[in-house]
Structure 1
Amino acid sequence: MKRVVVLTGGVGGAKLVLGLSRITASDALTAIVNTGDDFQHLGLHISPDIDTLLYTLSGKANSAQGWGREGESWSFMAALRELGGEDWFQLGDGDLALHVARTHALTQGQSLSQITARFAAQWGIATRILPMSDQALATILVTDQGRLEFQRYFVEQRCAPAVRHIMFEGATHAVPAPGVIEAIQSADAVLLAPSNPFLSIDPLLAVPGIGSAIKQTKAPVIAVSPLVGGTAVKGPTAKLMQELSMAVDNDSIARHYAGLIDAILIDNGDRCEAPDIVVGRCATLMTTPDDKIRVAQAALDLAISFRS
């Protein structure tokens, strides 16, 4: 595979991208990242999924939780609590530096794409990391507790409210970031990471032009299922599917991506009988570095089977 593009969200997607980075040429891999989770907090621009990928690929990620920085300190949060500040969203001292640097650069007129590329270069990351858009697009959840911005739902409320509907505010005015469409059009394989389909991949597809580019690409499009053993490895995917009246299985995932994907990679012990979708299998749980490489290779092998 000469050129691989992966659409990704947070922790699960970052694991796949890390695996891909170990088995593809340094200039062959492009990650297009969800920014529907981005928000303003304490005057700072926070880009959680981009940051998770930056930390993961640079070797700085907290190995136990998959997000945030390893060896983080919390002096800022302690001082903030003393002042009665909002402490529902944790900002470690090292993590805070990233948000301050990003926000300052944005106020100086730099784009999110430019800033992300500079951070990646500064940390020696060869993988090309592209935000889905340089314009704001916010994932909003309509719940039994009212309308909630993504981070309020995900972090503050710990995904407890029941979700009735998901919206992507600003989607009609967003445009793909520079390089996004070109990367998809020139790809030899397009992968949808095992990120939450509704909260991580759908925001990407809500940006006008991205979904149509994927449908029109000549490259095989492979989804890696976020389900293992009939449930999600991490996050609210299974809970969301139930609340949206969907069966928690790979058939539902395949139907959700119908018209977009050629194949789906699922765990060895699971099933998928969606029509017109090729099914590949491997052990998809990614815990160790070897796990990540195994899943990445299986996804690429599935793509190669189409091209051959």
Structure 2
Amino acid sequence: MSAPSILALSGGVGGAKLADGLLHAAGRGRLTVAVNTGDDFTHLGLHVSPDIDTALYTLADLANPETGWGRRDETWTFMDALARLGGETWFRLGDGDLATHVERTRRLAAGEPLSAIVADFARRLGIDADIVPMSDQALRTRVQTDEGTFDFQDYFVRQQCRPVTRAIEFVFAPDTRPCATLERALADEALGAIVICPSNPYLSIAPILAVPGLRALLRARGVPIVAVSPLVGGAAVKGPTAKIMTELGVPVSADEIVRHYGDLLDGFVLDARDAHLRERMALPVHVTDTLMLSPADRVHVARETLAFAAALHHKP
């Protein structure tokens, strides 16, 4: 019998760390990482896919260890020259990173789907996992704030998340659907678990679940769907999760994350610092240390999550 395959839903840094742990914990099982592309945008004429690239760089062991995003040992000659010419520098593209965006833009313009380009990049970077965009069609995240409505990167990077969030919307065409590689991963008879990584539930995972038909496909697959809490000790490790929750008027608490995902989940991995919240959750909960400060931590959380999912799968 073949080892079970795994499907992970991921946003940026936190999700990519767990995806890396899952890659090393999966054994001979195939890992597919479906990544948020609601953050994608056109900048300086280039198609930029921040979460996709974070997944690629992390699983290829190329990511900047200090930031979690971008490339290790990056240089900034292009940005320095652009600044001298008066160009837009609010979204910084390192020289090595720039090559990724240039090549992706060229191939998209030639008619290749994003999923094929990402698969080829992953192969060339030596990644033994399938990294796939949630859709080959554009689905864009927009943030409604007290200062107007912003495209995601405008809100997240240019505005530094400062405006008060009022609502989050997703804009997409009627023909938007999950990418074919993601659909094949869901149809895989060896699929043993679906893991929702500890990415921002509102800005990173919600766009994935907003792809028409995907939430129903996930739920209908009949394998355990387990989410790992993005909160550690009632706070986000990185990013604006807690700020967004407060401004949307919901408690900054792991049990609120469970309520947010609703009937999609079969189980929840809760950080040990929040163990007192376990009794508030009306679904199976596994408590462990979810803080991923080292590669060994990533593998630890991944193994705990997969063992939990396997126990749910075999529960009578």
- TM-score range for the pair, normalised by the shorter chain length: over 0.9
Closer, same or farther: CA 51–208 of 1 in aligned 2, 3 Å:
same
> Which residue, 224, 242, 248 being the options, matches 1:244?
248
SS at match of 1:142: strand
Task: Show the counterpart of 2:70.
Answer: 68
Tell me the amino acid that sits aligned with residue 260 of structure 1.
L
> Which residue, 115, 118, 122 being the options, matches 2:117?
115
Conservation of the 8 A alpha-carbon contact between 2:235 and 2:242: yes
In structure 1, distance between residues paired with 2:258 and 2:174: 26
> Which residue, 200, 215, 220 being the options, matches 2:204?
200
In structure 2, distance between residues paired with 1:24 and 1:63: 23
**Equivalence map 1:38-187=2 (5 Å):** 38-170=40-172, 172-186=174-188, 187=191
Return 5+ residue gaps in structure 2 as ranges: none
In structure 2, distance between residues paired with 1:117 and 1:179: 10
Q: TM-score with structure 2 length normalisation?
A: 0.95
Task: Point out 4+ residue stretches in structure 1 off by more than 6 angstroms.
Answer: none
- The percentage of aligned residue pairs carrying the same residue is 50
Q: State the Cα distance separating 1:274 from its structure 2 match.
A: 4.1
Q: State the Cα distance separating 1:127 from its structure 2 match.
A: 0.6
Conservation of the 8 A alpha-carbon contact between 2:38 and 2:140: yes
> Which residue, 14, 17, 31 being the options, matches 1:29?
31
1:269 aligns with 2:281: no
1:63-87 superposed Cα distances (whole Å, 9 cap, x missing partner): 1110000000000001101111000
SS at match of 1:19: helix
In structure 2, distance between residues paired with 1:25 and 1:118: 23
**Equivalence map 1:230-241=2 (5 Å):** 230-241=234-245
Q: State the Cα distance separating 1:215 from its structure 2 match.
A: 1.2
In structure 2, distance between residues paired with 1:181 and 1:273: 35
Return 5+ residue gaps in structure 1 as ranges: none
Closer, same or farther: CA 268–196 of 1 in aligned 2, 3 Å:
same
In structure 1, distance between residues paired with 2:301 and 2:246: 27
Conservation of the 8 A alpha-carbon contact between 1:192 and 1:221: yes
Task: Show the counterpart of 2:302.
Answer: 296
Closer, same or farther: CA 26–54 of 1 in aligned 2, 3 Å:
farther
Task: Show the counterpart of 1:287.
Answer: 293
1:9-39 superposed Cα distances (whole Å, 9 cap, x missing partner): 0000000010011111355110000000000
Task: Show the counterpart of 1:14.
Answer: 16
Closer, same or farther: CA 171–285 of 1 in aligned 2, 3 Å:
farther
Closer, same or farther: CA 241–102 of 1 in aligned 2, 3 Å:
same
Q: How many residues align?
A: 308
Task: Show the counterpart of 1:222.
Answer: 226
In structure 2, distance between residues paired with 1:130 and 1:286: 23
In structure 2, distance between residues paired with 1:14 and 1:102: 20
